[in-house]
Structure 1
Amino acid sequence: MAVPRGSGAGHSCFRTWGSLLYLCYLDESGTGQTLNPAVPDSVPVMVIGGFTVPENQVQGLVWDFLELKKRFRPELRRLSSLTQMVHHEVKGEALRKNFRREGRNRQRMAHGFLDQLINILERRGCTVMARIWVKQDGARNDESAMYAAAVTTLCATFEHYLAERSSSGIAVLDSRNPHDNTGNVHCVTTRRFGKDEERLPHLPESPVFGHSNTHIGLQIADLLVSAVLAPAAAVTYVADLSGTNVHCHPGYRTVRERHCPRIGKLQHRYRSVTGKWVGGVVVSDARGQESAGKLFAPLATTQRDGGPLPRVPEQVSSQESAPAPPASSPAS
C-alpha cells in the first residue's frame, strides 16, 4: 500500500512497503580560494561528492568499514565501545600525506586501505557521484555558489537514480555552519517544494546535515573526495603545477591510475533529454576545458615503484553481500 504524500495521490514515486530507501552521503574537499600558481599550498580544485547506498546494505557497510579501520589502525581494537570506534576517524587528508612521503610502506598501506574501501562500495551496491571544480589561475570564485550548484547537480543525479528504481532517498551533507548549510540546500528546497513544479519527487525531504564523527557514511564520503577524487583531479587537470604545488604532488598520479578506474565503474551516468551523458562525476574545468573522461583515462607516463603493492588484509564480511551493482555507462 502506498504511503500518501500531500495532495499528489496520483504520483507513482511514493515509497511502498517492501521498496528500498537509498541514502546519499556527500562531503567536500578544497575551497573556492583564488588559485595562485606562485603559492605552493594554493588549492587548485574544489570537490563536492560522495556515494549512495541502499538501506538494506547500510549496516553491512558500517561494520565492513569499522573492521577496515581496525585493520588499518590495530590500536583501535583496544577501544571498548562502538561509539569510540565511530568517533575515531581515518581522514582523507591523512592518507594524502602518505602519498607525498618517500617511504613506500606508508604509501602502500594507504593504497591498500583505499583498495579495500572500494571493495566495500562494490560489494554493497554503492554508486559514486561528484562535482569537481578546476579553478582558473587568478580568478575569483564564489564558493557559496559553487557548493550550492554542486549540491543541486548531485541531487538531480540522485533523483534520476531513485526514479529508475521507483524508490525514495535522503541526502546527508557534512555539516559546515548554520549560515553555509542554509545556502547550500536552498535551491534544492525550492525545487523540491515549489508550488509550480515538483522537480525532485523521489526526495521526500531537502538534504539534511550530519557530523562526520557520528556518521560512518560521511567518513567514507570524506575518503572518496579527499583521498581519491581531489588529488587525482589536481594532478590530472593542473599537471603543470606538479612539483611546485603540494596539491598536485607527483605521488598523486598513482592514486589516479590505481583507484579512479574502479571509481569510474561505480558512477551512475545516464543520457539527458538531449542525448548527452550526464551524472556520475562531473568536471567543470575553467583552466583547460577538459572533460571528466580525462580523469578516468589511463595515464601514459605513470611510474610504478616495482613489484606488487601489499594491501590491507582482506576482510570477511559480517553481512550478506549485495547483488552486483548494475553495469555503468561510459564516462564523458
Structure 2
Amino acid sequence: MGSAIAVCAPRGKVLHLCYLDESGTGQVLNPGVADSVPVMVIGGFTVPESQIKGLAWDFIALKKQFRPELRKLPALSQVVHHEIKGETIRKSFRRQGRNQRRMAHGFLDHLLTILERRDCRVMARIWVKQDGVVNDDAAMYAASVTALCANFEHYLAERSSSGVAVLDSRNPSDNVGNVHCVTTRKFAKGGDPMPHLPESPLFGHSDTHLGLQIADLLVSAVLAPSAAVTYAGDLTGNVHCHPEFVEVRDRHCPRLGKLQHRYQAPTGKWTGGIVVSDARGHQSAGKLFVPTVTAGTAPVEGIPGQGSSLDLVTAATAPAPASPAM
C-alpha cells in the first residue's frame, strides 16, 4: 500500500502552493478548420498556506452562487467534486444570450476578487502557433513547466519561503515527461537551481483539488480565449477567436496583469508572470493587459453571501457542459 508524502515548510517559513493546468495542444494549426486551436496555454496561480482554507471556502461559496443546485447537496465532497469547467464558461461568451455572457463575466469577476483577496500570484506560458507548422507538444509543455517552476522559485526566494507545485494529472507517460526536466535539474550534480522547491511538481486530480479547478478557469476561461483573439484574431471564422473574447481580455486580463510576479533576470531582461511566445506575429505579452475598449461593467467587490440575489443565479438554467472545444 502506498504512503502519502508530506511536504512541510521549515519552522518560521511560509509554505506556498502553486496550481497549474493547461488549455490547448501543440496540434498543427489549420486556418481552414473552424475549431483548429491557435494557442497552447500552461499556467495557474500561487497561494500562501495561510490563505488556502479561505481560498477554498470562497470558491465553494462562488460555486454555489453560480450553480444554486449545489446548495442542496448533502455532502461537501459532492460540491468539491462538481467542477465548473473553464471551457464551459468560455462557450458562454460565444452564445447569443446576453444574460449568459453577463453571468460568465460576473463569475470571473468574483473569481479574480478571490485571488486578489487571498494574496495569490498568477503565472502562465502562452504559445501562439504558426499556420501549418508541426509543434512538439511534449517539449512545449515540459519547457513551460520548467519556466513556471523557475518563476515560482524566484517568488519563493524573495520571501525566504518554500513551495510545492501541483499539476493537473494527464496520464502516466505524459506526467513523467512533463516534470522529468525539473527533476533532473534539481537532483543533478552541480547544485540545485530550485532550492526553495523541496520536491519536483506533484500531480492531482481536478475533481478533488479546488486549486486545480481555479487554475483551469484562469487558463481556459480567461487566458486562452484572450490570447487567441489577441494574437490570432486574423483567423476568420475560427471559434477560438470569437469577437466576444475581446471583452474577456479587456475586462479580466488587466486584473491578471496586476497579479503577476515579474522580475529581472541576470541579463537584465524582465521575465516571469504571463509570458507569450508568439511564433505567429512576434508580439509581446503587454497586448493582453491594456484594454482596447472600455469594459462593460466594473469588477464587483467581495464575495456575497449564499443567500443574496445575484445575476449569477441565472446560471441555474445554463446548459450542461458539452465536449471541450479547446
> How does the TM-score come out when normalised to structure 1?
0.87
Note the 1:84-95 alignment, pairs <5 A: 84-95=78-89
Note the 1:137-152 alignment, pairs <5 A: 137-152=131-146
| 1:240 matched to 2:229 | no
> 1: CA distance between counterparts of 2:301 and 2:224?
22
Partner residue, 1:17: 11
Q: 2:30 aligns with which of 33, 36, 44?
A: 36
> 2: CA distance between counterparts of 1:48 and 1:208?
15
Q: 2:270 aligns with which of 262, 270, 277?
A: 277
Structure 1 residue 15, shift from structure 2 partner: 4.4
Partner residue, 1:162: 156
Structure 1 residue 260, shift from structure 2 partner: 0.2
Structure 1 residue 296, shift from structure 2 partner: 1.0
Give the secondary-structure state (helix, strand or coil) at the position aligned to 2:32: coil
Q: For the Cα contact (< 8 Å) 2:113–2:301, is it kept in 1?
A: no
Partner residue, 1:10: none
Identity %: 71
Partner residue, 1:213: 207
Per-residue Cα deviation, 1:276-309 (whole angstroms, up to 9, x for no partner): 1100000000000001111112215x785xxx47
Give the secondary-structure state (helix, strand or coil) at the position aligned to 1:240: coil
Note the 1:175-190 alignment, pairs <5 A: 175-190=169-184
> 2: CA distance between counterparts of 1:202 and 1:282?
22
> 2: CA distance between counterparts of 1:251 and 1:104?
11
Report how many aligned residue pairs link the two structures: 299
| 1:72 matched to 2:66 | yes
Note the 1:280-299 alignment, pairs <5 A: 280-299=273-292
Q: For the Cα contact (< 8 Å) 1:170–1:207, is it kept in 2?
A: yes
Partner residue, 2:258: 265
Q: Which consecutive residues of structure 2, in runs of 5 or more, have no partner in the other structure?
A: 1-7, 307-326
Q: 2:224 aligns with which of 205, 230, 247?
A: 230
Ranges of 4+ aligned residues in structure 1 off by more than 6 Å: 309-313
Q: For the Cα contact (< 8 Å) 1:108–1:309, is it kept in 2?
A: no
Cα 1:188–1:313, aligned 2, differ >3 Å: closer, same or farther? closer
Per-residue Cα deviation, 1:150-184 (whole angstroms, up to 9, x for no partner): 00000000000000000100000000000000000
> 1: CA distance between counterparts of 2:211 and 2:79?
14
Q: 1:118 aligns with which of 112, 120, 140?
A: 112
Cα 1:126–1:256, aligned 2, differ >3 Å: closer, same or farther? same
Structure 1 residue 195, shift from structure 2 partner: 1.6
Alignment RMSD: 1.8
Structure 1 residue 89, shift from structure 2 partner: 0.4
Give the secondary-structure state (helix, strand or coil) at the position aligned to 2:36: coil
Q: For the Cα contact (< 8 Å) 2:59–2:114, is it kept in 1?
A: yes
| 1:250 matched to 2:240 | no
> How does the TM-score come out when normalised to structure 2?
0.89
> 2: CA distance between counterparts of 1:303 and 1:25?
28
| 1:105 matched to 2:105 | no
Give the secondary-structure state (helix, strand or coil) at the position aligned to 2:58: helix
Partner residue, 1:3: none
